[in-house]
C-alpha cells in the first residue's frame, strides 16, 4: 500500500487529524471516516453535483478530489449549514417551495445554491439556472429548485420577513 499521508482539516468548525491513503476521495473521507453521510455519492463521474461541499468557501465536487488535497483546508458540508431548529435560508427555501422530491440531490443542490448566494446575493433566474448547471435533479425538474433559491435570496435580503409582517 502507498504510504499514508497525514492531513489536518477543519470540517464544520471541528479540527480533524488523520492518516489517509492518497487515493481516498474526499467524499469517502467525509462519509466513511468522519461519518458525515449528508454528502452523497451520485454519479461518481464529476457531473451530478450530489457530492458538493464547500472547500475554503468555494463549492467543489468532493468525488473529484483526494482527501490529501484538502490538507490544511476548511470544509463545510450540509451538516454544518443549519440545524433542524434553525435552518439555513436555502434549506428553508427548499422546504417552503417544495424544492425536492426524493431528496438525493438536495444536499449538493443546497451547497451549490449557498455558494451562488455568497457570490451573488440577488441572482436573476438565468443566473440561478447557470449556477446550478453542475447539479442534476432526476425527479422534480428544476422549477421549484429555482423558486427555493429565489426564496432564500429574498429571505437573506430581509424581504420574506417583511412580507410576513404585512
- The answer to whether 61 contacts another protein (rule: CB under 8 A) is yes
Q: Cell triple for residue 137? A: 435533479
Q: Cell triple for residue 59? A: 463549492
Of 6-45, which residues contact another protein (CB under 8 A)? Answer: 21-23, 25, 44-45
SS (H, E, C) the chain: CCCCEEEEEEECCEEEEEEECCCCEHHHHHHHHCCCCCCCCCCCCCCCCCCEEEECCEEEEHHHCEHHHHCCCEEECHHHCCECCECCHHHHHHHHCCCCCCCCCHHHHHHHHHHHHHHCCCCCHHHHHHHCCCCCCCCCCCHHHHHHHHHHHHHHCCHHHHHHHC
Q: Which of 36, 39, 52, 90 binds another protein (CB under 8 A)?
A: 52
Write the interaction track for another protein spanning residues 66-105; mark x where CB under 8 A is met and - where it is not.
x-xx-x----------------------------------
Query: What is the number of alpha carbons within 13 Å of residue 108 lying toward its C-beta?
Result: 26
CB closer to another protein out of 53 and 148: 53
Q: Which of 9, 50, 60, 114 binds another protein (CB under 8 A)?
A: 60
Q: Which of 30, 36, 65, 110 binds another protein (CB under 8 A)?
A: 65
Strand partners, 53: 60
- The answer to whether 146 contacts another protein (rule: CB under 8 A) is no
- The answer to whether 49 contacts another protein (rule: CB under 8 A) is yes
- The answer to whether 116 contacts another protein (rule: CB under 8 A) is yes
Least CB distance from residue 84 to another protein, whole Å? 27
Binding site for another protein (CB under 8 A): 1-3, 5, 21-23, 25, 44-47, 49, 52, 55, 58-61, 64-66, 68-69, 71, 112, 115-116, 131, 133-135
Amino acid at each position: 500500500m502507498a504510504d499514508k499521508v497525514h492531513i489536518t482539516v477543519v470540517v464544520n468548525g471541528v479540527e480533524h487529524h488523520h492518516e489517509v491513503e492518497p487515493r481516498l476521495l474526499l467524499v469517502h473521507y467525509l462519509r466513511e471516516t468522519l461519518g458525515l453521510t449528508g454528502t452523497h455519492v451520485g454519479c461518481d463521474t464529476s457531473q451530478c453535483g450530489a457530492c458538493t461541499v464547500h472547500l475554503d468557501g468555494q463549492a467543489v465536487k468532493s468525488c473529484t478530489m483526494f482527501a490529501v488535497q484538502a490538507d490544511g483546508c476548511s470544509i463545510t458540508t450540509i451538516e454544518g449549514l443549519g440545524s433542524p431548529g434553525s435552518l439555513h435560508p436555502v434549506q428553508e427555501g427548499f422546504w417552503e417551495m417544495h424544492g425536492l422530491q426524493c431528496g438525493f440531490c438536495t444536499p449538493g443542490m443546497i451547497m451549490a445554491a449557498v455558494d451562488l448566494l455568497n457570490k451573488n446575493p440577488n441572482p436573476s433566474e438565468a443566473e440561478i439556472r447557470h449556477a446550478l448547471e453542475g447539479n442534476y435533479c432526476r425527479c422534480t425538474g428544476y422549477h421549484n429548485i429555482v423558486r427555493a433559491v429565489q426564496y432564500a435570496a429574498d429571505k437573506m435580503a430581509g424581504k420574506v420577513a417583511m412580507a410576513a409582517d404585512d
